[in-house]
Amino acid sequence: MDLECTMCGGKVVAPDDALKGEIVSCGDCGLDYEIQEVSAGTVILKAAENVKEDWGE
């Protein structure tokens, strides 16, 4: 299923068997999205949180 990136308008491809919580990326700008909901063939995306590692500093 092809969706549109909110950042650049590029194509975000979500697999047909996508699951809630799965991460997909925009093929153009690389922005990551989390699949928020899957129902009746419709996929709802939200921007994935950018979590950085804490190296104990």
Query: Is the four-CA dihedral 32, 3, 36, 47 of positive or negative sign?
Result: positive
Q: What is the rounded distance in angstroms from the CA atom of residue 49 to the CA atom of residue 53?
A: 13
pLDDT value of residue 52:
67
Asked if 20 contacts 37 with a C-beta cutoff of 8 angstroms, the reply is yes
pTM for the full predicted model = 0.78
Amino acid at 24: V
13-47 tens-digit pLDDT: 998 888 999 999 999 999 999 999 998 878 999 99
pLDDT value of residue 57:
60
Q: What is the mean pLDDT of residues 1-7?
A: 91
Q: What is the rounded distance in angstroms from the CA atom of residue 37 to the CA atom of residue 16?
A: 13
- The ranges assigned to domains in the chain are 2-47
